[in-house]
Amino acid sequence: METSRFSFEETPLHGVWQVNRKPIRDQRGSFSRFYCAEEFGAIGLERPPIQMNHSRSGQRGTVRGMHFQYAPHAESKIITCMQGRVFDVALDLRVDSPTFLKWFGVTLEAATQNGLVIPPGVAHGFQALTDAAEVFYLVTTAYSPDHEDGINPFDPAAGIAWPLPVTEVSPRDNQRPFLSASRFSGIHADGSRL
């Protein structure tokens, strides 16, 4: 789908979109729009972003994820890479989705200004493909520690193929439960617990 400032491309995961910004270039450099409620609404992003997050991974190979929040703080995210390159991953945890427990990954690069739109019920994570990789994302719900959760990024049941040897991961992410854990059997499309 094309709009005046963006091109949106469906991914193999239901409701997850790749987005490419269309910069306007002149002798000074370029200008691009990062978000437009009307244009993102056309792909189903119903709530506007209310929080902006920025992360910097100093070392190539660093993995962050796989994170999500439960309702009423379930969130959509618009992800882009502002410096370097990352392998960005979405993992569908929605039991009522045709792509339940499937994952999709794409390289996001500062140079190409591409991004990923992730709906509620889909876990998100990434691996830095360069040193000093910076990721910027807009989020539709404020962070809530009481509603935050995650899946282990190395869960064999998810089977995420991280492209590089892992150099860094937080102890918290490394100790996240596997999908086979009895406490987790999926979530609804609105992010509510089963």
Active-site annotation holds for 124: no
* Contact (CB, 8 A) for 83 and 151: no
Beta strands across the sheet bearing 51-57: 6-10, 17-21, 114-118, 77-83, 133-139, 51-57
Q: Calculate Rg over the CA atoms of the chain.
A: 16
b vs e for 145-176, b when ≥16 Cβ sit within 10 Å of the residue's Cβ?
A: eebebbbbbbbeebebebeeeeeebeeebeeb
Q: Name the active-site residue from 14, 67, 147, 188.
A: 67
Active-site annotation holds for 137: yes
For the beta carbon of residue 35, count every other beta carbon within 10 angstroms.
Answer: 18
Q: Name the active-site residue from 14, 35, 70, 137.
A: 137
186 DSSP assignment:
-
Q: Which residue numbers are catalytic?
A: 67, 137
